[in-house]
Amino acid sequence: MTANHGKVNRVVLIGAGSVGVSYAFSLINQGITEELAIIDLFADKALGDVWDLNHGKAFAPSPTNVWLGEYQDCKDADIVCICAGANQKPGETRLDLVEKNMKIFKGIVDDVMESGFDGIFLIATNPVDVLTQAVIEFSGFPAHRVVGSGTTLDSSRLRYKLGEYFDISPKAVHAYIVGEHGDTELPLWSRVTIGPVPLQTYLDNHDDYNAEDLDQIFEEVRDAAYHIIEKKGATFYGIAMSLARITEAILRNENIVLTTSSYLQGQYGAEDVCIGVPSIINRSGIREIIEVPMNEEEQEKFAHSVQTLKSIYEPAMKRI
């Protein structure tokens, strides 16, 4: 360890692959944390990343202290972000990765907990909902201190696509994808607004747009990762920016609503499952899960997503 931890924020990144390093790059360029330790099984590669990131420090908004970390650095960390694990291959679903990555995660979480870590876990590796729940089990932490990236990226993709369609800034589009970060996710069309205007009202007031186009927009959002993987082998910039946003919300105690993978204990009529839902994020992790009213079709699709995740998690956990 090369840092003295005082009253500063510390993030430990585990997994210096494309997602992890893109996340580190985002943290440094946005000045989100004062300390960043990077841990990876391939230490030489991670050390090269540390050097490379440090060489641009003169251009960063604040001088983040970055070093090649060890698990003992987790003891004083505010957030441990896990990006380690097997990557999704072309033609492979996120759920196909479950057994590989649950075994990897068991070892990682054991090493983190042995350090005396008492902060918040942030999970990015797929299948993220299943692995978020596994970390709750492996760590013994209260559920609110284990946050998965969930459908934060999917929601951002939807806002981007709707913004492109309506020729309006994505920041003015308020839209949420919920459910599994994967094939059974769903958009809450009944809750989308363009600025303060409900989506259906906006469509009714503009002859150039049509509700039938929404299905195509959602399909492009849902299948975006498959198309990107086909073109470049992996997705990493978008998810890294999503992770940076969640990290910022935690460290700055923002109380902002993000669609993280959160552990349901009766909300939405579901029990014992981590799934993407709007949640209030602050320094404690998940302060509150917001129950959004859904129409009948949305309720049915969400229940299907819940059952899909439960059918994967429960047998996989028994084999660990």
* Number of Cβ within a 10 Å radius of residue 111: 16
CA-CA distance, 164 to 158, in Å (whole number)?
A: 10
Q: Give the pLDDT score at 41.
A: 95
With a cut of 70, say whether residue 94 has pLDDT above it: no
* Catalytic entry in 181, 206, 227, 304: 181
Say whether 276 counts as a known binding-site residue: no
Say whether 88 counts as a known binding-site residue: yes
Q: Is 98 left (phi over 0), alpha (psi -120 to 50) or beta?
A: alpha
Residues 6+ apart with CB under 8 A from 58: none
Say whether 40 counts as a known binding-site residue: yes
Work out the pLDDT band at 3, boundaries 50, 70, 90. very low
Asked if 84 contacts 103 with a C-beta cutoff of 8 angstroms, the reply is no
Q: What is the pTM of this model?
A: 0.94
Where does residue 315 rank: exposed (0-12), middle (13-18), buried (19+ CB within 10 A)?
exposed
- For 121-167, write each residue's pLDDT tens digit: 999 999 999 999 999 999 999 999 999 999 999 999 999 999 999 99
With a cut of 80, say whether residue 44 has pLDDT above it: yes
What's the whole-number mean pLDDT along residues 160-175?
Answer: 98
With a cut of 80, say whether residue 2 has pLDDT above it: no
Q: Mean pLDDT for the chain? A: 95
User: What is the arrangement of strands in the sheet containing 120-123, beginning at the earlier edge strand?
Assistant: 65-68, 35-39, 10-14, 79-82, 120-123, 146-148, 256-265, 271-282, 285-289
Q: Give the pLDDT score at 1.
A: 45
Domains within the chain, CATH numbers bracketed: 10-148 (3.40.50.720), 152-318 (3.90.110.10)
Say whether 71 counts as a known binding-site residue: yes
Tell me whether strands 10-14 and 35-39 are parallel, antiparallel or unpaired: parallel
- Percent residues over pLDDT 90 in the chain: 90
Q: Give the pLDDT score at 7.
A: 78
CA-CA distance, 105 to 310, in Å (whole number)?
A: 18
- For 248-257, write each residue's pLDDT tens digit: 999 999 999 9
Work out the pLDDT band at 97, boundaries 50, 70, 90. confident
Say whether 124 counts as a known binding-site residue: yes
* Number of Cβ within a 10 Å radius of residue 31: 13
Q: 192 to each of 172, 175, 201, 226, 290, how far by Cα in Å?
A: 11, 5, 10, 25, 16
Q: Give the pLDDT score at 17.
A: 95
Q: Give the pLDDT score at 100.
A: 84
Work out the pLDDT band at 31, boundaries 50, 70, 90. very high
181 included as an active-site residue: yes
